Amino acid sequence: MISRRWRVHLMYFALSAFLAWHTIAMLLAPVPNNNATVGAFRSLFQPYLTFIGLDNSWDFFSPMGVGYQFRYVITDAVGKEHTFVPIEQFAWFQPTHRWHEKIYDQLMYEPDIYSDYHATFFCRKHADLNPISIRLLARQEEVYWPENYLAGKNRFGDDYVILNVLKQFACQRGGQPAVEIRGAVPDAPPATR
């Protein structure tokens, strides 16, 4: 049996080795893959970097780009519009936030593939509103420069945010799949929030 003193030393050694491993992995993460000196070490650390989500490139240090956000507008039977931003139901620190963010990003990038499912899902989810139609929107932020801030302009004002209508659907009664309204997208009025 290992004495208590040796167990403590062994624990400190294991924790120190992990700390050194993790520090080296964090230093290697943003280095370009074509760097010959780091290439051999990178292959050793790659599984760990992938597991903890640190396998990034040099754009790891770049500033944030223009943002996008998915939202949808449901029109009820009386003609009232209800705007929903589904990502807001998840706290940013929850793992499901990142997962749903990727789902909605994919919906915005490829609406022809994913919009039918989501329109039907959201129509069913809000059946209590008695929905007649749904518009799927992509909210896109425009470039906002420091000069705009100094001029007192609102980053989220109408000058710097564009709402693009991805698709529009008619909600069906009884939970039936939503039906796309073709030709309605260019004429659909933008929703505000």
Which region among 81-90, 129-138, 148-157, 168-177 has the lowest average model confidence (pLDDT)?
A: 148-157
Residue 66 pLDDT: 62
Residue 58 has a pLDDT of 56
Average pLDDT value for residue range 23-40: 78
- Of 78 and 64, more confident: 78
Number of alpha helices (DSSP H) and beta strands (DSSP E) in the chain: 5, 5
Does residue 172 share a domain with residue 87?
yes
Question: Final residue of a domain: which of 44, 60, 76?
Answer: 60
What are the distances in angstroms from CA 157 to CA 134, 136, 154, 189? 24, 20, 5, 17
Judge whether 193 lies within some domain: no
pLDDT at 190 over 50: no
Specify if 172 maps to a domain.
yes
Sheet-wide strand order for 161-170: 81-84, 68-76, 131-141, 161-170, 179-180
pLDDT band at residue 193 using 50, 70 and 90 as cut-offs: very low
Whether residue 191 is contained in a domain is answered as no
Return the closest-CA partner of residue 166 out of 102, 79, 67, 71: 71
Domain-terminating residue out of 35, 60, 85: 60
Report the percentage of the chain scoring pLDDT > 70. 86
pLDDT greater than 90 at residue 107: yes
Res 192: pLDDT: 44
Question: What pLDDT is attached to residue 160?
Answer: 78
Of residues 45 and 131, the one with the higher pLDDT is 131
Average pLDDT, the chain: 83
Looking at the structure, tell me whether residues 45 and 112 fall in a common domain: no
44 and 79 share one domain: no
Same domain, 54 and 76: no
Higher confidence at residue 177 or residue 114? Answer: 114
Residue 38 lies in a domain: yes
Residues 48 and 123 occupy one common structural domain: no
Contact 162, 133 (CB under 8 A): no
> How many domains are contained in the chain?
2
175 vs 125 pLDDT, higher one: 125
Same structural domain, 100 and 40: no
Q: pLDDT category, 188, cuts 50, 70, 90?
A: very low
Domain that holds residue 117: 68-180
Q: Are residues 86 and 157 in the same domain?
A: yes
In this prediction, residues 21-39 reach a mean pLDDT of 80
Q: Is residue 20 part of a domain?
A: yes
